[in-house]
Amino acid sequence: MLIKKQNSWYFEDIINPHKGRLIREIVDLYTDQQFIQIHLKNFLKLNIKRSDLNTYLFFIATIPEKPHKHDYVIFNVNIGDLNSYPKADNYSENHLRHVKLEIQYLDPKPQFQKKQYTFGQNPTGYTSISFLTGPDQHEYSLALPKGMKLDKKYNNPKLYYNINNDIGELLLNIQYIEKINGNQINHLLIDEDDYERNYNIIQNPNIEFFLQYSVSNKLKYIIFFPIFSIFMLIFVLILFLPLLKHFLGGNLP
């Protein structure tokens, strides 16, 4: 038996020199199995750790006989001796163990889309959407590239859910913003009232979440210094050309 209880997600967006996203997923689950399965696609540099001891776990991949580009890779993870994990609290199946895993990898194909701009606006902003499966995806952290910030729009980021094509939206609140080495990091939680109101929906094992957000450069407009300087130089030459002719004895054309 395996019961997925909750997830926390930590994203670090990269746009230079190549697009990418560093992902750290914290998974809490109840299980009585030594081997569990994890499904991933679009990943590099995968590491899986036991969170409470900060030790790496062994895993091996299972790939379909005729793989397709949309297939997930299934990883069989050995979580070790179950007796070394605490018992699941407040649960009827008291033989289950509480396992907390930390899954880290690089997504080389994040769904970043360039935004539309008018002339003179900084063209480095983008929108993003992430697909998350499983119940109670309650905590998110977004680390943006240097010089970038979340757009100041109502309800940005947005969190949608889908249960058997029944789509709804949950309110996300930015709890805290910090800056580390020039990167803005936004910590978000589902709104407490919204969480309580939609608790049964959030806990549905068949739920899917969609996290969507929009990012812009802090420098909203680009000042074209090189082009401006060239035009000024041409203007000055034209303006003072008669004066130069006079001093040079009229030898200029």
- The domain spans of the chain are 2-217, 224-253
Omega before residue 67 within 30° of 0, cis: no
pLDDT at residue 143, as a whole number: 95
Instruction: Kindly list the averaged pLDDT for each block of 10 residues, start to end, along the chain of length 253.
Output: 85 90 93 91 92 92 68 88 86 79 94 70 77 83 91 82 92 91 91 92 89 84 55 71 63 52
- How far apart, in whole angstroms, are the C-alpha atoms of residue 124 and residue 59? 38
Task: Give Cα separations from 241 to 229, 231, 247 (angstroms).
Answer: 18, 15, 10
Is the CB of residue 47 less than 8 Å from the CB of residue 22?
no
Output the pLDDT for position 67.
60
CATH 2.60.120 is the classification of domain 2-217? no
Query: Which helix or strand (DSSP H or E) is residue 95 part of?
Result: none
